[in-house]
Structure 1
Amino acid sequence: MEKPRTLLISGASRGIGRAIAERALAEGHRLSLGLRDPAALAEGPLRETARQGTDRVLLHPYEARDPAQATAWVEATLARYGAIDGLIHCAGLFSRVGLLFPPGGEGEIEDLWRVNLMGPWWLTRAAWPALVASGDGRVITLVSMSGQRVKGSLTAYPCSKFALMALCQSMRNEGWDAGIRVTAICPGWVNTAMASQVTALPAEAMTQPEDLAALTAQLLRLPASAVPFELKINCVLEPC
């Protein structure tokens, strides 16, 4: 790796986010991890490195529903590292709410919207001046194949992900001249807790979190002239 980056990573306590953070740590990057409960982070290289008191890993409280926490996390990261040149959005919620939801379903839809769309929006806005100052910023967002098409009766979740794809496009447009490059990663089934109830596909046949971590590591190495905007990754064949 030519140059280590200072990366903000949300959703790093488990699943895809944790795999991405662990790979980024192994690649030599400096990490600022936004966690709902930093004290509950499971044992492993992230917690161990943070415990050693080095400047490699900062653990900071972060609740995606609260824009003030996005600002506080960014400010703490700048106070520790003095710069931010990468932002990786992995935090998100899943929902099975359909089109004809029962009375009271509005609350779940609004919460999904707040976490899946507004969380990344608030955090990106807070980190934007630092990304511009870097001159070579990167924003990587875990979207989903549900941001590309709608399957079955799911409605609330894909609506939030389609909106997130639009946000990614807007970030790309806004940041292009400042050297910021944006990538939306759109996986299908990934072997995480979210997919644990899937019976039609064995876990070993799914995309693995480590595979997405490897792709993210490669994205961080690419020059601005070669960063793709959209990566669709699917472990099953779907009609085009």
Structure 2
Amino acid sequence: MQTGFNAQVAIITGAASGLGLVIAHKLLNEGAYVGLFDVNIEALREEFIGNPDKEEFVSVDVTDPAMVEKGVEQIVARFGKIDILINCAGITGATNIKSHEVDPENMRKVFEINFMGSFNTSKAVLPHMLANGYGRILHIASIAGKEGNAGMLAYSASKAAVIGMAKVQGKEYAETGVTINALAPAVIRTPLVEAMPDTQVQYMTDKIPMRRCGTLEEAANMAAFIVSAENSFTTGFTFDLSGGRATY
């Protein structure tokens, strides 16, 4: 059966849990071959069974450029090309703290994973996409990157940087057949959010006009559209997934 992602090859980072896990299953179910990147390869093996012909497990620390490059080459060797990259790997870091209390080391760690990780993977896949004259890159950002969440300086600033990168990359490759966009969710019920203090989650949920968290399925559905061939005239854009919170 022909599907929207039939025979396309996708790389998804942070694929062992949360949004990355749900997006990966969606693309697999719709016909894609998927390179599953995560630091926890055992979790990947537990979460993905039954599709060995279409899955490639890759243990990757996205903050390590050499490891990322090697992982990308592994996917190209296995499946022959890369059509899609979705950057889901990310952390919140320490939350519910004021800026003067922020540990610089925590700030660096959050930026390394959230921003540099997305930079490293996009840098590695772009030459392959450019050679084929086609590609879709999606960076998972956050509404916090647009508006800032009090008590979450490192996370908010790192996601703002991700949005800035999507804008730059979208312009740089606009004539190549490669689109680069971002997705800015409000609170989505993921393990990452579940681990946050209740007060921080309540603070974020209270800002959503729909008065609820988004679901992983809602996020996966929008992500799938953004990286589809049908979404061909939008690049350098940050898509809203905020239950009405976004004002631009």
Provide the identity percentage.
24
Contact 1:13 1:35 in 2 (8 A): yes
Shift of 1:35: 1.3
Report the counterpart of residue 12 of structure 2 in structure 1.
Answer: 9
Q: Is there any run of 5+ residues in structure 1 with no aligned partner, and where?
A: none
AA of the residue aligned to 2:99: L
| Residue 214 of structure 1: aligned partner | 221
Partner of residue 156, structure 1? 154
Structure 2 equivalent of residue 140 of structure 1: 138
TM-score by length of 1: 0.88
Q: Structure 2: which amino acid aligns with 1:70?
A: V
Q: Structure 1 CA distance, aligned partners of 2:101 and 2:220?
A: 35
Q: Is the counterpart of residue 235 in structure 1 residue 233 in structure 2?
A: no
Post-superposition Cα deviations, 1:158-202, rounded to whole Å, max 9, x if no partner, equal 111111111111211121111111121000010112222335759
- 1-side partners of 2:247 and 2:120: how far apart? 35
Counterparts of 1:6 and 1:207, CA distance in 2: 27
Write the distance in 2 (CA, Å) between the matches of 1:172 and 1:156: 24
2:101 is paired with a residue of what secondary structure? coil
Number of residues of Structure 1 aligned to a counterpart in Structure 2: 232
Distance change >3 Å, CA 220–CA 164, structure 1 → 2:
closer
Which amino acid is the alignment partner of residue 211 of structure 1?
E
Instruction: Tell which deviates more after alignment, 211-220 or 12-21.
Output: 211-220
**TM-score, normalised via structure 2 length:** 0.86
**Cα deviation 1:9-54 (Å, max 9, x = unaligned):** 001111111010000000100100111121232634x23323xxx1
Measured at CA, do residues 235 and 223 of structure 1 come closer, stay the same or move farther in structure 2, by a change above 3 Å?
closer
* Structure 2 residue 192 is the aligned partner of structure 1 residue 189: no
| Partner in structure 1 of residue 24 of structure 2 | 21
Distance in 2, matches of 1:112 and 1:169, equals: 21
Where do 5+ consecutive residues of structure 2 fail to align? none
> Counterpart of 1:171?
169
Equivalent position of 1:41 in the other structure: 44
Counterpart contact for 2:111–2:158, Cα < 8 Å: yes
Q: Distance in 2 between matches of 1:238 and 1:133?
A: 36
Q: CA deviation at 1:219?
A: 2.4
The answer on whether the counterparts of 1:179 and 1:224 sit within 8 Å (CA) in structure 2 is no
Deviations 1:65-117 (A, max 9, x none): 21111111011111111111111000011022542026xx1111111111111
SS in 1 for 2:240: strand
Matches of 2:177 and 2:221, distance apart in 1: 23
Give the Cα separation in 2 of the matches to 1:49 and 1:224.
Answer: 27
In 2: Cα distance, 1:237 partner to 1:170 partner: 24
2:23 & 2:246 partners in 1: Cα distance?
26
RMSD over equivalenced CA pairs, Å: 2.2
Q: Distance in 1 between matches of 2:245 and 2:112?
A: 31
